[in-house]
């Protein structure tokens, strides 16, 4: 009798192994990022704005693992501070965009009719404008700072959440428990708040997590263009923007490490969010088991 094939050698087993490795790697990276963001700045005795012209543009070493920038500031500490600011902007903007998108999507799906059509036409109009272009238009009306960037990112990222919530609300409206609530005399407002919104909150929360990497990239792009945070404030975008001259001069580290701080954390957050999405979607779980 032939021996059974080990699970890790089957197609489904390899998929599960790859998925498990991806989730664990993403969780480890996110854990290291959280510890660095929370612990490194309070414990560090160095000022991330301290200028030391005698140590400018030093390559990575034991004293400065990421090297120094063009005015002698420690790049590791600057990257950690920049990541804190970028994540703060990303999380707040994602939360605001999720609240707005959930409210708009629930309103359109629950009321239906001309309200649904009017709301979705507004969503289509906003979707027709490139996000970065709309973001530039918003931040250009204010002075550089955190809150103009948060407003810019929130105004350009609530559209997908509104579509997701509207689709879920339209699906939930056909369920028997909604018909039973309406037959029992519940008002449309009560049905929406007590029965429809709780059903869409998991998907809305997932959309918020998936939105954080997009918001971080959006803030980095605006700051790189000089329209986001002011140049003296450390963020991932301002760090990359200020390192352009050093890169042209052949000094690679002021650009490489802030760029990695943009890419690696956002990919790790997206990896964890993808695993969460697979748990919420039965079809994806069935595909992994094949």
Domains of the chain listed by start with CATH number: 25-50+63-284 (1.10.3720.10)
Q: Give the pLDDT confidence score for residue 50 in this predicted structure.
A: 66
- The two structure tokens encoding residue 56: 């400018």
Q: Give the pLDDT confidence score for residue 287 in this predicted structure.
A: 43
pLDDT at 140 over 50: yes
Q: Give the pLDDT confidence score for residue 170 in this predicted structure.
A: 84
pLDDT at 191 over 80: no
Least confident range of 84-93, 138-147, 256-265: 138-147
Q: Give the pLDDT confidence score for residue 288 in this predicted structure.
A: 41
Of the two residues 283 and 246, the one the predictor is more confident about is 246
Q: Give the pLDDT confidence score for residue 289 in this predicted structure.
A: 43
Average pLDDT taken over every residue of the chain:
77
* Contact assessment for residue 79 and residue 257, using Cβ atoms and an 8 Å cutoff: yes
Start-to-end Cα distance in the chain: 24
Q: Give the pLDDT confidence score for residue 11 in this predicted structure.
A: 55
pLDDT at 290 over 60: no
Q: Give the pLDDT confidence score for residue 46 in this predicted structure.
A: 54
Q: Predicted confidence band at 41 (pLDDT cuts at 50, 70, 90)?
A: low
pLDDT at 8 over 50: no
Q: Give the pLDDT confidence score for residue 134 in this predicted structure.
A: 79
- The two structure tokens encoding residue 34: 């959280």
- The two structure tokens encoding residue 114: 């001309």
Least confident range of 118-122, 166-170, 224-228: 224-228
pLDDT in tens, 68-126: 887 778 888 888 888 888 888 888 988 999 999 888 888 888 887 888 888 888 888 88
Q: What is the largest CA-CA distance in the chain?
A: 78
């Amino acid at each position: 009798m032939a021996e059974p094939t080990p699970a890790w050698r089957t197609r489904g087993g390899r998929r599960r192994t790859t998925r498990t490795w991806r989730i664990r790697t993403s969780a480890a990276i996110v854990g290291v990022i959280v510890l660095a963001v929370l612990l490194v700045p309070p414990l560090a005795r160095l000022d991330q704005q301290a200028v030391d012209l005698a140590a400018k543009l030093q390559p990575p070493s034991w004293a400065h693992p990421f090297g120094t920038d063009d005015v002698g500031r420690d790049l590791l500490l600057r990257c950690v501070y920049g990541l804190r600011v970028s994540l703060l902007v990303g999380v707040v903007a994602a939360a605001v965009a999720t609240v707005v998108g959930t409210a708009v999507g629930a309103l359109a799906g629950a009321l239906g009719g001309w309200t649904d059509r009017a709301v979705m036409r507004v969503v289509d109009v906003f979707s027709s404008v490139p996000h970065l272009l709309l973001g530039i238009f918003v931040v250009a009306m204010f002075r550089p700072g955190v809150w103009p960037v948060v407003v810019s990112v929130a105004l350009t990222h609530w559209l997908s959440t509104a579509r997701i919530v509207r689709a879920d609300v339209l699906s939930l409206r056909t369920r028997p428990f909604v018909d039973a609530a309406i037959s029992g005399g519940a008002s449309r407002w009560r049905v929406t708040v007590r029965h429809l919104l709780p059903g869409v909150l998991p998907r809305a929360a997932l959309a918020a997590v998936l939105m954080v990497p997009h918001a971080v990239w959006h803030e980095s792009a605006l700051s790189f263009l000089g329209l986001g945070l002011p140049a003296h404030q450390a963020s991932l975008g301002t760090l990359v923007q200020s390192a352009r001259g050093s890169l042209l001069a052949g000094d690679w580290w002021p650009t490489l490490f802030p760029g990695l701080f943009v890419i690696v954390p956002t990919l790790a957050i997206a990896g964890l969010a993808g695993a969460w999405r697979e748990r919420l979607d039965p079809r994806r779980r069935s595909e992994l088991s094949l």
